Each structure stands twice: as C-alpha cells, then as structure tokens.
Amino acid sequence: MNEIRPLLNEATEQMQNTDRFLRIVKTHTEITELTAEVVNEFIEKIIIGETVIIQPRRFSHWKDEKRQNIRIIYNYVGAVPQDDEAVTAETRQKITTAV
C-alpha cells in the first residue's frame, strides 16, 4: 500500500488538473479574439530558446535561415508536447526594400 499510495495521489492530482484545464476550455469554446486575458487563463509561461542560424544567406537579398525552440507551459497540464519533444519555429524570408 505504501508504494501504491504516491502513485494514486499523483494520478488523482493529474485528473484534477485536467478537469480544471477542461473547465477553462469549455468557457472559451468560441474565441473570436486572442486577448491577454485569454492567454493568461491558458498559459503559465512561454520559454523561447536561443536562435540558431541553420543556413547563412545564399543571396544578399535573403535573410539567414534560423531555428528557435519554443516551449509553451499550459496552466494545470504542463507542456504539450511533453518535455522531450521540442516545437521548433523556422524562418526564411526574402529581404524586401522599399523603392
């Protein structure tokens, strides 16, 4: 019993946190505008990793290809995807200049 009790307590806490998160989701089923209030209800914190240049620009009018890891920690449920799965943002754009 002493070995199983912590597992049961952890499972109960996870279930309660999931219920809390689902209550928030149900109150915002049709979000028409992403406001600071809505973001604060859903997100505990956002962790932005260091920008890494994957490929330098090939032409002078292009930007460098960059990659950056982003982790969103949601209220009550933590990071989705889980900690071992990174979400990566990549950019590659053409530099435009006004004439």
Q: For 66-79, how does the pLDDT look when each residue is reduced to its tens digit (9 = 90+)?
A: 888 888 888 888 88
51 vs 90, residue with greater confidence = 51
DSSP 33-96: S--HHHHHHHEEEEEE---EEEE--SSTTBPPEEEEEEEEEETTTEESS-TTS-EEEEE--B--
Q: For 4-62, how does the pLDDT look when each residue is reduced to its tens digit (9 = 90+)?
A: 888 899 889 888 988 888 888 888 878 888 888 888 888 889 888 888 887 777 776 67
- This prediction's pTM: 0.56
How many domains would you assign to the chain? 1
Flag whether 99 is in a domain.
Answer: no
Flag whether 37 is in a domain.
Answer: yes
Q: What is the pLDDT of residue 84?
A: 59
Of the candidates 59, 54, 23, which has an alpha carbon nearest to the alpha carbon of residue 41?
23
Flag whether 60 is in a domain.
Answer: yes
Q: Which domain holds residue 33?
A: 4-91
